[in-house]
Amino acid sequence: MSLSYPDINLLINGKWRPGNSKKWSNVVNPATEEIVGKFAVAETIDLDESLEAADTAFKRWKKVAPFTRYKMMRSAAELLRQRVDEIARIMTIEQGKPLAEAKGETLLGADTIDWFAEEGRRAYGRVIPSQMENVNQIVIKEPVGPVAAFSPWNFPINQAVRKISGAIAAGCSIILKGPEDTPASCAELVKVFVDAGVPSGVINLVYGIPSDISNYLIPHPIVKKISFTGSTAVGKKLASLAAEYMKLSTMELGGHAPAIVFNDANLSAALDVLTAQKFRNAGQVCVAPTRFLIQDKLFDQFVEGYVERSKKVKLGNGLEPETTMGPLAHDRRLAAVEELVQEATDLGATIHTGGQRVGNVGYFYPPTVMTDVPISARMMNEEPFGPVIPISSFSTIDEVLIEANRLPYGLSAYAYTASSEIADRVGQEIESGIVGINHHGQPAIETPFGGIQDSGQGKENGIEGLESYMHSKLISHKTTP
Ligand code: NAD
């Protein structure tokens, strides 16, 4: 398979071009550690041009009929489907995930565009009867204005497509700072919108030094809304900057999902889902199960089953057809996972499988199943974002609910049980934006996705995702002046 990889320009006001400074930065293939390409670095002058473009384009785009926007977006989705093979190949080269996952992500991206295109046509307002005579009260939905969005490297298309589709379906323009580790597949996504006829300046794409770009764009008066996906630490900084300038913000941040298996669960079904969802994207998924809490009677069988399934994982270059799990996406992630495992081991954890980097070229780290990990270990408190599986046991539902709610995160949680009473308590009492019972419950495009507490604020996808790019305006009209 060819390893050709495009150089990535910025997209500003409809033109693909290098930054004014002509600075470039390298892209590394995490499976080989080879430099495969480069992306253009934006500086302040480029950001100023993108702001002006987004501002001018917004004034026209907000007046474009929703049906016209819909048609362009549906064409963009079709182009993404047509280009899936090439885009997936590029994504695997820069991000590491197996080709099948990259294809799935790209096709889901097309479905996401379709859904927002449809929903944008149904962004209805409402008529509210007045307390006074001869007064018409109508509420209309208006796009909030130019958006500054920041999307990460773990899902280069899916994290970006939610932001772009929600914003432009609502009538906003957007400046997206794409992921510097995985810039090409995100750029290919943006390209389908351009090729489908979305006018110049409606979508702008920049790369560069993330903090320089966010520090410049967030306070800028042209920008009316911020959307960020990434770590809790960075999200808190950006949210406080947004608050200082009274900007709307949506924050999709980290999680630390409890995965609870009760004694009455269907063990093999639970194992199948909890392994598949852990190995997906090598565990670099904000809604991956991360704290495995198994009721005492099933504990030994669960550990045994997890180890058995972990050993079947084919770790390798995502371009190879037999690979089921690719490398970690970059050297920072490899170092972080190695540190978490080392610290837990130093604190007395037992490793049942994995526990060491595989090879010394490529950022390969195997599924690492651990027991006896003390609650004080960093991996039980910080988002692990890698293929580490700390398994603990519990006796009672009260005890496990306390553990599930122990951390300030609240993105996703999972439980396996045959009892509707237990399922009800879990659904009601776990503090989390998403609770999956007896399956992963991975939210579809039409359902709201997002966390609470340290996992963020606001939702992407679902009608909430579209509405986060719109204001409600009340027009109260007395018809007898
Ligand atoms: P990081 O926290 O530095 O970066 C995470 C993302 O935020 C990257 O896309 C980066 O470009 C962006 N970013 C960083 N600083 C920024 C700033 N000041 N302004 C704007 N954007 C900024 O670290 P990392 O090594 O890339 O990832 C580490 C952690 O990030 C992971 O452990 C995970 O917890 C979290 N993360 C979460 C998600 C998610 O889906 N919620 C995705 C990627 C990373």
Q: What's the pLDDT tens digit per position in 303-321?
A: 999 999 999 999 999 999 9
Which residues are known catalytic residues? 252, 286
Nearest-CA residue for atom 23 of ligand 1:
231
Nearest-CA residue for atom 27 of ligand 1:
231
Q: How many whole angstroms from 308 Cα to the centroid of ligand 1?
A: 32
Q: Residue 239 is inside which H or E element, if any?
A: helix 232-244
Pairwise CA distance, residues 228 & 240, whole Å: 12
Q: Which residues of the chain are under the pLDDT cut of 70?
A: 1-3, 442-443
Nearest-CA residue for atom 32 of ligand 1:
385
**What's the DSSP call for residue 461?**
S
Q: Report CA 10 to chain centroid distance, whole Å.
A: 22
**What CATH number was assigned to the domain covering residues 10-253+454-474?**
3.40.605.10
Query: What pLDDT is attached to residue 1?
Result: 45
- Tokens 């090879």 locate to 359
Q: Is the dihedral of CA 391, 396, 401, 407 positive or negative?
A: negative
- Tokens 């998924």 locate to 285
Provide the H-helix boundaries in 430-461: none
Same CATH topology for 10-253+454-474 and 257-444: the answer is no
**Domain range summary for the chain, segments of one domain joined by +:** 10-253+454-474, 257-444
Query: What pLDDT is attached to residue 4?
Result: 86
Q: How many whole angstroms from 387 Cα to the centroid of ligand 1?
A: 18
Nearest-CA residue for atom 13 of ligand 1:
210
Identify the residues whose C-beta falls under 6 Å from ligand 1. Answer: 150, 152-154, 179-180, 210-211, 214, 229-231, 234, 238, 252-254, 286, 332, 383, 385
pTM above 0.75, yes or no: yes
Atom of ligand 1 nearest to the CA of 180: 11
Residues 257-444, CATH architecture: 3-Layer(aba) Sandwich (3.40)
